[in-house]
Structure 1
């Protein structure tokens, strides 16, 4: 993917006002990764904003940060692969508040890179949740209702179209609320069909999922992340869940 040098320079100049190294080093441990994921993580940590504010005030910073990472990494922000040929794995992903496209940048694309490294891109179908505004109002309401209904519909469609695929339901931040609410709308047979659930920065951490055993649920919640306590404060620890995607994929592979 190519970007005009002038546009990229403007992104750097605008972002440097609040970019800084990671403020919570004890939360991040980068191990050996694939080349694409390593590059993403290095850029993520290099340009991580020094942020400590409410989710309402953080939306512009999150969007700008996503745009910067997207420009630097060429991350694809929208995936609509459901309904194509069946693959061994299908992942349906709900992005976080204020993120672009239908999968965002902070967790979705690095998760997909880790899945590609583990299983090969031809073995994976990726679908982002559509009809979902990812607004602050949605987060404060416990998760956007339209997005939740759409994710439930997508899971039912995946089961109907590809009953033998291993389905991963995943979300980041408000996207975790979407996962919880979507699964609550499923009948027990469909919910129990889900292979694994991968949650990053879950405001509903520890809340049981309808007909999905806890043994099939992976939750990454950093110790200093207020969102994981159903709070409203955004700090660096909430923006760094890309460091957890390899562990999440290994968890999914075991189910």
Structure 2
């Protein structure tokens, strides 16, 4: 499901934080994310998040952390774990490739160790490219994109309950996630987002996706 949001963030206390993130995304010093979670026990659902370029936070300040918290608030009788994809999330041309390999490796390993576990995949900005590549949709030619180097095994595909991408750079090229995952995908691009809107030029719009955490959580929980 493709969703273009037509609102920009208003005067919020987090605007200064988002502006700092904007500086990071455009060439400032990189803030390293916290360490990835240790190998999870076999929860019912593993929420796997690829953060955006230089995005602070364990799962990601703008998308991953708020989306996971919103999912936690909504589930009942379902156990959850979260995993931050271990990749540079930098402007290096090899960064999305590393993320693609790391995401597929984690999901493949979890699927083998936990035969009943399902997955929710979340990606923001460069992380959306990582998620798309892992589903077999190349982001080559997009901002901080790259070719597909690994894909989630076909046997695991039915266990991917939901895919959610925010500020997906491939949208700038008029493309998105297709194929078997299309009807399980929520693709949100804020109006005028410089990264995903073909006519966009707003960095603030690209930093506004915390506003969509509740909608995303409802989308995911409806599919669990």
Alignment partner, residue 86 of structure 1: 42
Number of aligned residue pairs: 201
Secondary structure of the structure 1 residue equivalent to 2:105: helix
Q: Which runs of 5+ in 1 are unaligned?
A: 1-24, 30-40, 68-75
- Give the distance between the partners of 2:161 and 2:216, measured in 1 at CA: 13
- Give the distance between the partners of 2:24 and 2:203, measured in 1 at CA: 9
Dislocated runs of 4+, deviation >6 Å: 50-54
Alignment partner, residue 228 of structure 1: 196
8 Å CA contact 1:133, 1:147 repeated in 2: yes
- Give the distance between the partners of 1:60 and 1:54, measured in 2 at CA: 4
Deviation of 1:101 after TM superposition, in Å, equals 6.1
62 and 225 in structure 1: CA distance in 2 versus 1, 3 angstrom threshold: farther
Q: How does 1:167-186 map to 2 (within 5 A)?
A: 167-184=119-136, 185-186=151-152
- Give the distance between the partners of 1:193 and 1:137, measured in 2 at CA: 31
171 and 51 in structure 1: CA distance in 2 versus 1, 3 angstrom threshold: closer
8 Å CA contact 1:94, 1:170 repeated in 2: yes
Secondary structure of the structure 1 residue equivalent to 2:157: helix
| Larger RCO (alpha carbons 8 Å, 6+ apart) | 2
- Give the distance between the partners of 1:118 and 1:222, measured in 2 at CA: 24
Q: Which runs of 5+ in 2 are unaligned?
A: 1-5, 137-150
Alignment partner, residue 208 of structure 2: 240
Secondary structure of the structure 1 residue equivalent to 2:169: coil
Quick check: which has more Rg, 1 or 2?
A: 1
Alignment partner, residue 12 of structure 1: none
Question: Is residue 85 of structure 2 the alignment partner of residue 135 of structure 1?
Answer: no
Deviation of 1:234 after TM superposition, in Å, equals 5.8
CA deviation map 1:10-51 (0-9, x unaligned): xxxxxxxxxxxxxxx93349xxxxxxxxxxx95324654399
Alignment partner, residue 187 of structure 1: 153
CA RMSD of aligned residues (A): 3.4
Deviation of 1:100 after TM superposition, in Å, equals 3.8
Question: Is residue 158 of structure 2 the alignment partner of residue 203 of structure 1?
Answer: no
8 Å CA contact 1:89, 1:123 repeated in 2: yes
TM-score by length of 2: 0.75
Alignment partner, residue 116 of structure 1: 72
Deviation of 1:233 after TM superposition, in Å, equals 5.7
Q: How does 1:1-255 map to 2 (within 5 A)?
A: 26-28=7-9, 42-45=12-15, 47-49=17-19, 58-60=26-28, 63=31, 77-81=34-38, 83-100=39-56, 103-119=59-75, 123-130=79-86, 132-138=87-93, 144-184=96-136, 185-205=151-171, 206-209=175-178, 211-212=180-181, 214-229=182-197, 235-255=203-223
- Give the distance between the partners of 1:231 and 1:46, measured in 2 at CA: 25
